[in-house]
Each structure stands twice: as C-alpha cells, then as structure tokens.
C-alpha cells in the first residue's frame, strides 16, 4: 500500500478501506510504503497503529506481526521517531528492504 502526499485528518479516511482490504487479503502481512508521503499527523499515526494492532491480532504471535513501513522522507521519519513507532514497528529505508523483511 503506497501513500502519496499527506496522511492527515483530511486524507486518512481514503486510506482506511484499502488498508482494511489489504489486511484481510494478505493473511497478516502488510507493507505501508510512505516513500511518497510528505507529511503525517496524529490521525495518520493512529491509522498506522490501528493497522498494526489488527495485523498482530490476525497473526496471533504476540506483537511480531507482519506490518512493516518503508519511509525515506526525513520529516515523516522524524514523526515516527518522536512517537516511538520507529522503535516499535519495523521501518525500512527502501521498499525492497521492507518486502524482504516480510518474506522472513
């Protein structure tokens, strides 16, 4: 799943349904590609956290689920760091690294 532009209060609802579909369809392995994301706010962070919780619940493995993020934008990465998500989720610089992590 790719995010382009802003992931905030006005755009997060457009991502909810496709993200829900991806979680249901992929048997608890989801990549959120934030490489094209220029800005993220608390609404976007909350959306990612909810997806993470659902993936972990579907995987049934106590927090080792298959949700990974790909993020190259320094501003977005800083928000992930400040909120602690960068240390809680698997965040990769490139999409290839994120895909490889899902395959492990």
% of the chain exceeding 90 in pLDDT: 72
Dump pLDDT digits (tens) for 31-71. Answer: 999 999 999 999 999 999 999 998 888 776 554 558 999 99
Instruction: Give the start-to-end residue ranges of the domains of the chain.
Output: 2-103
Looking at residue 2, what is its pLDDT? 92
Q: Coil, strand, or helix at residue 4?
A: strand
User: Average pLDDT, stretch 13-25?
Assistant: 90
Q: Which CATH architecture has domain 2-103?
A: 2-Layer Sandwich (3.30)
Q: How far apart are CA 12 and CA 2, in angstroms?
A: 13
Q: What is the mean pLDDT of the chain?
A: 89
Cα–Cα distance, 5 to 34 (Å, whole number): 9
> Is the model's pTM score more than 0.75?
yes
Q: What is the C-alpha separation between 100 and 104, in angstroms, rounded?
A: 7
Provide φ and ψ at 89, rounded to 5°.
-105, 160
What local confidence, expressed as pLDDT, does residue 47 receive?
96
pLDDT of residue 84: 93
Q: How far is Cα 59 from Cα 52, in angstroms, rounded to an integer? A: 10
């Amino acid at each position: 799943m790719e995010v382009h532009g802003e992931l905030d209060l006005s755009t997060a609802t457009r991502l909810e349904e496709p993200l829900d579909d991806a979680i249901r369809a992929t048997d608890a392995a989801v990549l959120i590609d934030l490489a094209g994301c220029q800005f993220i706010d608390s609404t976007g962070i909350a959306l990612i956290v909810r997806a993470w919780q659902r993936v972990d619940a579907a995987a049934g493995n106590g927090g080792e689920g298959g949700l990974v993020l790909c993020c190259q934008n320094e501003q977005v990465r800083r928000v992930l760091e400040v909120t602690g998500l960068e240390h809680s989720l698997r965040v990769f610089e490139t999409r290839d690294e994120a895909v490889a992590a899902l395959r492990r």
